[in-house]
């Protein structure tokens, strides 16, 4: 089938939740490059939205999945599973947590974390169930994670929302303090809000939140679905802050493209999940866990996390160079290879995305008109410099047109969610 035929098929048969998608269909990828059906190459600075941390066709990941598929794809959780136990061990050994539960997605990991926090206090006979989250956060699309997501526009069509959630402004410790009640069981945060435009939590805020949690006996849940797995230049973003959360949630990069989510928790909290409290048919199956093992060991053994930190510095400096040059760039922010460039609202970010795509670069536009860069961690310096040159050329046209007159028909959207 050619590209147009596939698009027509999708439009007829697939639910239209993604609107007008980018009109490219990828056939295969190698390292950080994707090739479309016509053989055109694209350097990928989105990585399946922070998923493909090892890029495309990484031999360690391909070998792990292939050999697991030849042995056993799935086995029910009625039995012990070697890859599951091994993957859990690796996550525990490399984090501040003690026990792991595997889910299938970020939303599902967060849903489980919410249940775990509530069960922890239920077991203690305490009536604490409220979860405080941040405005403009994004925690997923299930009903409870939508309720946790601090963006009314996503909740509205699906009311009533599950009870027990409230959101307060991000990076505002006073607002958080005021929101706490005797019923508060957990504070749930992203350390960098990805979907709303790569907004970073400040060091003081994170330290303050942790202290508040300690003082008030409240659990700290960190949603590292996007920031985890080396993305920010540490295996987990909390490691930048010298704090330890009670619960961490992961997904996206954990399987390098194979769907898997995880909850990691301290022993005292994890033990609240006892037989029957939680479960999943697919969660932690041999295939997904074999992929996770390959991702974690490759990230650690190939020095990809330190490399991410160094390349991220270089990338950020190059983005700053563009910011100094073009007055319509408002801000450059982020850590490691999770970077954002906020544009004046008069410059339509989605058209920059389309213009970059035409030049063979995949970028994304998130909330607050922010270009978001989340390349595979195997991206090279030369590829980053290539993107900067391409953006330089595109921004020059923006400047010359005194406004924005790049005409691109098929529209990328400034997505606020993944």
Ligand X SMILES: Cc1ncc(COP(=O)(O)O)c(C=O)c1O
Among 48, 55, 97, 140, binds ligand X (CB under 6 A): 140
Options 101, 102, 138, 315, the catalytic residue = 138
Task: Give the list of residues 6+ apart from residue 43 with CB closer than 8 angstroms, or none.
Answer: 32, 33, 360, 361, 362, 375, 379, 383, 386, 387
Residues 241-260 as b/e (b if ≥16 CB within 10 A, e otherwise) read bebebbbbbbbbbbbbbbbb
CB 367 within 8 Å of CB 414: yes
Among 225, 352, 378, 391, binds ligand X (CB under 6 A): 225
Options 119, 128, 252, 316, the catalytic residue = 252
Verify binding: residue 418, ligand X, rule CB under 6 A.
Answer: yes
- List the interface residues with ligand X, window 260-299 (CB under 6 A): none
CB 310 within 8 Å of CB 235: no
Nearer to ligand X, 166 or 177 (CB): 166
Q: Quick check: helix, strand or coil at residue 133?
A: strand
Beta strand spans in 37-162 (E)? 41-44, 99-103, 130-134
The residue number whose beta carbon is nearest to ligand X equals 106
Nearer to ligand X, 106 or 284 (CB): 106
- List the interface residues with ligand X, window 175-194 (CB under 6 A): 190, 194
Options 128, 165, 223, 241, the catalytic residue = 223
Q: Is 252 a catalytic site residue?
A: yes
Nearer to ligand X, 87 or 347 (CB): 87
Among 45, 102, 120, 138, binds ligand X (CB under 6 A): 138
Alpha helices in 188-346 (DSSP H): 203-216, 267-270, 286-301, 304-325
Positive or negative torsion for Cα 97, 100, 101, 107: positive
Verify binding: residue 222, ligand X, rule CB under 6 A.
Answer: no
Residues in the chain, total: 418
Nearer to ligand X, 68 or 193 (CB): 193
Nearer to ligand X, 265 or 347 (CB): 265
Verify binding: residue 197, ligand X, rule CB under 6 A.
Answer: no
Verify binding: residue 195, ligand X, rule CB under 6 A.
Answer: yes
Residue 365's DSSP bridge partners are 371
Verify binding: residue 106, ligand X, rule CB under 6 A.
Answer: yes
- List the interface residues with ligand X, window 9-28 (CB under 6 A): none
Q: Quick check: helix, strand or coil at residue 186?
A: strand
**Cβ at position 394, least distance to ligand X in Å:** 26
Verify binding: residue 248, ligand X, rule CB under 6 A.
Answer: no
DSSP sequence for 333-391: EEETTEEEEEE-TTS-HHHHHHHHHHTTEE-EEETTTEEEE---TT--HHHHHHHHHHH
Angle 195-113-375 from CA coordinates, rounded to 5°: 35
Q: Which stretch binds ligand X (CB under 6 A): 205-213, 222-230, 290-298, 350-358?
A: 222-230
Q: Is 45 a catalytic site residue?
A: no
Nearer to ligand X, 226 or 354 (CB): 226
Verify binding: residue 43, ligand X, rule CB under 6 A.
Answer: no
**Cβ at position 386, least distance to ligand X in Å:** 26
- List the interface residues with ligand X, window 334-353 (CB under 6 A): none
**Cβ at position 220, least distance to ligand X in Å:** 15
Tokens encoding 167: 């959101």
Return residues touching ligand X (CB under 6 A). 105-107, 110, 138-140, 190, 194-195, 223, 225-226, 251, 418
Enzyme catalytic residues: 138, 223, 252
């Amino acid at each position: 089938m050619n590209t147009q035929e596939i698009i027509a098929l999708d439009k007829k048969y697939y639910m239209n939740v993604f609107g007008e998608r980018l009109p490219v269909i990828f056939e295969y990828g190698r390292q950080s490059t994707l090739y479309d059906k016509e053989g055109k190459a694209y350097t990928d600075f989105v990585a399946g939205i922070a998923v493909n941390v090892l890029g495309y066709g990484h031999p360690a990941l391909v070998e792990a999945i292939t050999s697991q598929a030849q042995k056993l794809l799935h086995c029910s959780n009625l039995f012990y599973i070697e890859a599951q136990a091994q993957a859990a061990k690796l996550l525990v050994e490399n984090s501040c947590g003690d026990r792991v539960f595997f889910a299938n997605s970020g939303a599902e990991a967060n849903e489980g974390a919410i249940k775990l926090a509530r069960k922890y206090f239920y077991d203690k006979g305490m009536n604490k169930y409220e979860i405080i989250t941040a405005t403009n956060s994004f925690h997923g699309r299930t009903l409870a994670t939508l309720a946790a997501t601090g963006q009314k526009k996503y909740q509205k069509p699906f009311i009533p929302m599950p009870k027990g959630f409230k959101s307060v402004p991000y990076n505002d410790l006073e607002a958080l303090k005021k929101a706490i009640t005797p019923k508060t069981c957990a504070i749930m945060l992203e350390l960098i809000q990805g979907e709303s435009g790569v907004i970073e939590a400040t060091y003081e805020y994170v330290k303050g939140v942790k202290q508040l949690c300690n003082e008030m006996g409240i659990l700290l849940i960190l949603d590292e679905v996007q920031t985890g797995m080396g993305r920010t230049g540490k295996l987990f973003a909390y490691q930048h802050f010298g704090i330890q959360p009670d619960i961490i949630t992961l997904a996206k990069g954990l399987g390098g493209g194979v769907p898997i989510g995880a909850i990691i928790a301290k022993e005292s909290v994890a033990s609240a999940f006892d037989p029957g409290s939680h479960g999943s048919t697919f969660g932690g199956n041999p295939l997904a866990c074999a992929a996770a093992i390959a991702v974690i060991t490759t990230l650690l053994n190939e020095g990809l996390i330190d490399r991410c930190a160094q390349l991220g510095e270089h990338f950020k400096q190059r983005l700053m160079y563009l910011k100094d040059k073009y007055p319509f760039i408002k801000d450059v922010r982020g850590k490691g290879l999770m970077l954002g460039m906020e544009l004046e609202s008069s410059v339509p970010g989605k058209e920059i995305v389309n213009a970059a795509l035409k030049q063979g670069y995949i970028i994304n536009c998130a909330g607050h008109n922010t270009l978001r860069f989340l390349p595979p961690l195997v991206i090279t310096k030369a590829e980053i410099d290539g993107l900067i040159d391409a953006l330089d050329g595109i921004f020059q046209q923006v400047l010359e047109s005194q406004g924005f007159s790049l005409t691109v028909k098929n529209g990328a959207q400034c997505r606020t969610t993944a």
